[in-house]
Amino acid sequence: MLEPGYYINMFEVKISQDASEFMIADRSRYPSLKTLRVEIEKEEKEIGVYAPARSSKVFGYGKDSEWLASKGFRKETVKLIDEPKLTGRLILEGIINKSQEHGFAQLPEVEKGRRILFNENNFSETSDGNVRIYKCYDLRVIYLKDIISNALKFYAIIDVRFLLRDKLNKSLSSREIVQFYGSNTLKEVRTIQRDFVKIGGRFKSNTEASRQRLLKDIIPFAEKIRRFSLPCRVNAELVTAPCRITMVI
């Protein structure tokens, strides 16, 4: 239970150590990483490669990363705090890997640096059985400088989204739900999504929707993925209490 106050769906990520070994190549050697990634996949190697925006380096990591030596990469120790874009990417991948242990998979990427996770075996269903509601988690990682300590801190932002499908697993829009099954089915969908509450047989807007989603949907997910490892073999932990907003008057 959270103390009274204002909160945001942003969770600090703490990393157990500040440095790790990577395989590194000059960015000029790999202006596009697509070909290298295809070759890594073909060789069935567990390797990630990433080039932060405006960086002169390509970073390789993962269980089989030393294979990259044959591709002109060299081993170096990197301070994670000095490469925040890389660290943010590693945190994102670490959380995704951890979520897979709980049956989650990724939907196709809709925006760079953002991932949507869902569990196809876990859904709610309307009483008429026509609409399945899948709870999805929209995940981003950011870094901010603490104005008091001047330290760089990393945060995971977790939003809730909902994927609607029919019994044949076809995606549905709100308009199609009304068209095929009627407005009451849509109202029931909106109730499952916490947008509405049903009082005395009537549907009303839920003024507590944001708070309920944070407490009943987002924080429980954060607790599931609390401890995870970055692909560079560094342990990390998600602080499951969301960031509190301080009002300055």
Q: State yes or no: pLDDT of 77 exceeds 60.
A: yes
Q: What is the pLDDT of residues 233-244, one digit of tens each?
A: 999 999 999 998
113, 147, 233 from 64: Cα distances, Å = 24, 39, 12
Query: Whole-model pTM?
Result: 0.92
CA–CA dist 237, 215 (Å, integer) = 19
CA 108 – CA 114 distance, rounded (Å): 10
- Indicate the pLDDT class of residue 1, thresholds 50, 70 and 90: low
User: Strands 74-79 and 19-26, how do they pair?
Assistant: antiparallel
Check whether 248 has a pLDDT greater than 70: no
Tokens standing for residue 91: 């945190």
pLDDT, tens digit (0-9, with 9 covering 90-100), for 135-153: 999 999 999 988 888 889 9
Q: Could you identify the residue written with the tokens 């569990």?
A: 119
SS (H, E, C) the chain: CCCCCEEECEEEEEECCCEEEEEEEEHHHCCCCHHHHHHHHHCCCCCEEECCCCCCEEEEECCCHHHHHHHCCEEEEEEHHHCHHHHHHHHHHHHHHHHHCCCCEECCCCECCEEEEEEEEEEEECCCCCCEEEEEEEEEEEEEECCCCCCEEEEEEEEEEEEEECCCCCECCHHHHHHHHCHHHHHHHHHHCCCEEEECCEEEECCCHHHHHHHHHHHHHHHHCCEEECCCCCEEEECCCCEEECCCC
